[in-house]
């Protein structure tokens, strides 16, 4: 039943791991511990639904009424509600913000507010659902900057450097939860037979030798000169490095997870043909900053092509950004080419 972990064969559940981490901080109140545990719970709930996504043609499509007389909910809406509802009443959060909503999400009246804010992308890569390909959720936790009462937009608009926790859930061949509290990156795999996340990837470090690059080549025509030259570099056509192999799912969490474990770079550059995304497609607060923080904690880095993603002060909740994330040397190379040609 239990898979052995790499840590001396010891089986460590996520709960035990989070508690162990907490014990290194005698001043900790346990709030963050419980918050993380609830996110793991949300992940299990979402995974239990995403794994049945292929049954939609049999069980009913979105907005159909199923055999139990319930309305079938779109998976991204279901994920959004699961994360919000598991966290709205606990007194740990001052506010939340979701990629699915234009404004910040207040804590409902009647519940206490807490010292953290939670930002999340409930179901990233959702255009992949119909093709049975991996999808994910991304979460970020910041300490509030306002004193007390309901959380504010300012609490949610903080640079990635201020992150207290960042993590993601990957719904794929297996379900994984990967997170960092700023002291290393740890990965857990859900054992569906017992419904527990078990530590499978302690202390993840990005391999020094990069293996893959990952980008949507279909948009090559719309990239800047710098990005095109950088891509030729990765292909071994400039400055004579060995070419890297290409992988692209089109699902950020999946592409990021592979990059983290294999070494390499994922990038989604600015797009110079689509006026709706002149600054790239990915969202700074919901996607780029938390993944940048995780990558930095694993020994890599993240940039928008000019500066470290973690140093960018978001101006808007849904602000987009170009993203280059992976091995530090490759991210630096991207910046170099962009500086030289753009």
State in angstroms the smallest separation of the CB of 301 from ligand FDP. Answer: 19
133 scored as a contact of ligand FDP (CB under 6 A):
no
Q: Which stretch binds ligand FDP (CB under 6 A): 25-33, 227-235, 247-255, 329-337?
A: 247-255
201-220 mask for ligand FDP (x: CB under 6 A)?
Answer: ---------------x----
Query: What's the CA gap between 249 and 235, in Å, rounded?
Result: 18
State in angstroms the smallest separation of the CB of 137 from ligand FDP. Answer: 11
- Give Cα separations from 81 to 88, 97, 113, 123, 194 (angstroms): 10, 12, 19, 11, 24
Residue 56 token pair = 């939609």
122 scored as a contact of ligand FDP (CB under 6 A):
no
169-208 mask for ligand FDP (x: CB under 6 A)?
Answer: ----------------------------------------
269 scored as a contact of ligand FDP (CB under 6 A):
no
Q: Which is nearer to ligand FDP, 92 or 281 (CB)?
A: 281
Query: What's the CA gap between 273 and 338, in Å, rounded?
Result: 18
State in angstroms the smallest separation of the CB of 216 from ligand FDP. Answer: 4
Residue located via tokens 């939860």: 177
- Give Cα separations from 248 to 10, 110, 124, 253 (angstroms): 34, 46, 15, 11
Instruction: Spell out the alpha helix ranges (H) of the chain.
Output: 14-23, 31-50, 56-59, 75-87, 153-156, 225-234, 252-262, 289-297, 328-341
Q: Which is nearer to ligand FDP, 146 or 319 (CB)?
A: 319
**Residues making up the chain, counted from first to last:** 342
281 scored as a contact of ligand FDP (CB under 6 A):
yes
Q: Which stretch binds ligand FDP (CB under 6 A): 62-70, 120-128, 186-194, 324-332?
A: 120-128
Q: Which is nearer to ligand FDP, 116 or 268 (CB)?
A: 268
Of the candidate residues 125, 187, 226, 280, the single one contacting ligand FDP (CB under 6 A): 125
Query: What's the CA gap between 14 and 220, in Å, rounded?
Result: 41
Query: What's the CA gap between 155 and 18, in Å, rounded?
Result: 25
- Cβ atoms of 10 and 35 closer than 8 Å: no
21 scored as a contact of ligand FDP (CB under 6 A):
no
3-class state of residue 20 by DSSP: helix
252 scored as a contact of ligand FDP (CB under 6 A):
yes
State in angstroms the smallest separation of the CB of 190 from ligand FDP. Answer: 21
Q: Which stretch binds ligand FDP (CB under 6 A): 78-86, 107-115, 181-189, 250-258?
A: 250-258
Q: Which stretch binds ligand FDP (CB under 6 A): 41-49, 126-134, 141-149, 228-236?
A: 126-134
Please list the residues that pair with 169 across neighbouring strands.
Answer: 137, 177
Closest CA to 325 of 160, 123, 163: 160
- DSSP secondary structure letter of residue 74: P
State in angstroms the smallest separation of the CB of 337 from ligand FDP. Answer: 21
Contact residues for ligand FDP (CB under 6 A)? 124-128, 216, 250-252, 255, 281-282
């Amino acid at each position: 039943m239990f898979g052995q972990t790499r840590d001396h064969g010891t089986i460590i559940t996520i709960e035990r791991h989070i508690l162990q981490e907490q014990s290194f901080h005698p001043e900790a109140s346990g709030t963050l511990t419980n918050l993380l545990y609830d996110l793991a719970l949300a992940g299990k709930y979402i995974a239990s639904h995403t794994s049945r996504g292929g049954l939609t043609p049999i069980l009913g499509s979105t907005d159909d009424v199923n055999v139990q007389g319930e309305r079938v909910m779109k998976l991204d809406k279901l994920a959004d509600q699961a994360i919000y509802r598991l966290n709205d009443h606990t007194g740990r959060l001052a506010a939340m913000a979701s990629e699915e909503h234009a404004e910040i999400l207040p804590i409902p009246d009647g519940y206490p507010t807490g010292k953290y804010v939670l930002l999340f992308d409930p179901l990233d890569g959702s255009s992949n659902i119909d093709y049975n390909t991996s999808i994910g959720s991304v979460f970020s936790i910041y300490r509030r900057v306002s004193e007390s009462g309901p959380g504010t937009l300012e609490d949610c608009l903080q640079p990635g450097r201020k992150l207290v926790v960042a993590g993601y859930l990957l719904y794929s061949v297996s379900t994984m939860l990967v997170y960092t509290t700023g002291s290393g990156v740890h990965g857990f795999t859900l054992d569906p037979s017992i419904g527990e996340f078990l530590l499978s990837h302690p202390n993840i470090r990005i391999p020094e030798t990069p293996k893959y690059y990952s980008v949507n080549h279909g948009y090559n025509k719309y990239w800047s000169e710098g990005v095109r030259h950088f891509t030729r570099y990765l292909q071994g056509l400039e400055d004579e490095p060995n070419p890297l192999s290409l992988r692209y799912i089109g699902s950020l969490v999946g592409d990021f997870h592979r990059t983290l474990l294999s070494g390499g770079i994922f990038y989604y550059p600015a797009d110079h043909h689509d006026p709706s995304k002149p600054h790239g497609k990915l969202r700074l607060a919901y996607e780029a900053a938390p993944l940048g923080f995780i990558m930095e904690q694993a020994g890599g880095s993240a940039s928008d092509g000019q500066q470290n993603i973690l140093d960018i002060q978001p101006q808007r909740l849904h602000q987009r950004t170009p993203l280059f994330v992976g091995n530090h040397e490759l991210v630096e190379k991207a910046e170099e080419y962009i500086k030289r040609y753009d």
